[in-house]
């Protein structure tokens, strides 16, 4: 569950919450002329507007995935101990979990949390900066960016699974 479901759920949450905000914010900046003002001053909008968002989403998605996995394991252990189905010894549980995790699992979780986040945040930034001159284009750009991001999430997740476990 943690290997497959954790990164996908966290990426979905981040795409819906942060992806829509990034697309909308960058669309508003583009319409209000602030992107053009950055270019006029000689600053690269890619470095000032896109890169911090893309890297921030990737790092936060990875950290949230790790927290999700730890909470999943901890709640599973507590529930099993409460039901009387497992040992109450936390060190024994931690030892059995560490023995069950293989290097492929670590690589898979790392790739499934970071790669879709990079793709989704880049799609949302491109969607926001691709808005024309009308306010009515922002919701359409947001919807397109989120649709591409979610589709990319599932494709990237499937490809990483195939490459990791075949």
What is the arithmetic mean of pLDDT over 92-102?
Answer: 84
Q: What is the pLDDT of residue 116?
A: 96
Say if residue 10's pLDDT is above 80: yes
Report the C-alpha gap between 126 and 129 in whole angstroms: 5
- On the question of pLDDT at 31 being above 90, the answer is yes
Distance of CA 122 to the CA centre of its chain: 11
Q: What is the pLDDT of residue 1?
A: 64
Question: What DSSP letter does each residue of 74-97 carry, written as one string?
Answer: HHHHHHHHHHTSS---HHHHHHHH
């Amino acid at each position: 569950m943690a290997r497959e479901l954790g990164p996908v759920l966290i990426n979905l949450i981040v795409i819906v919450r942060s992806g829509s905000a990034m697309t909308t914010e960058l669309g508003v900046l583009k319409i209000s002329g602030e992107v053009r003002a950055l270019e006029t001053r000689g600053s690269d909008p890619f470095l000032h507007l896109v890169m911090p968002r893309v890297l921030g989403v990737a790092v936060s998605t990875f950290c949230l995935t790790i927290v999700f996995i730890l909470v999943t394991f901890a709640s599973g252990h507590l529930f099993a101990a409460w039901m009387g189905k497992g040992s109450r010894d936390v060190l024994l549980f931690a030892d059995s979990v560490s023995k069950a995790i293989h290097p492929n699992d670590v690589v898979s979780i790392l790739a499934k949390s970071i790669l879709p986040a990079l793709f989704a945040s880049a799609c949302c930034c491109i969607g926001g900066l691709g808005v024309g001159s009308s306010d009515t284009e922002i919701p359409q750009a947001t919807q397109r960016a989120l649709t591409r991001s979610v589709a990319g999430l599932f494709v990237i997740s499937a490809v990483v699974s195939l490459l990791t476990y075949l």
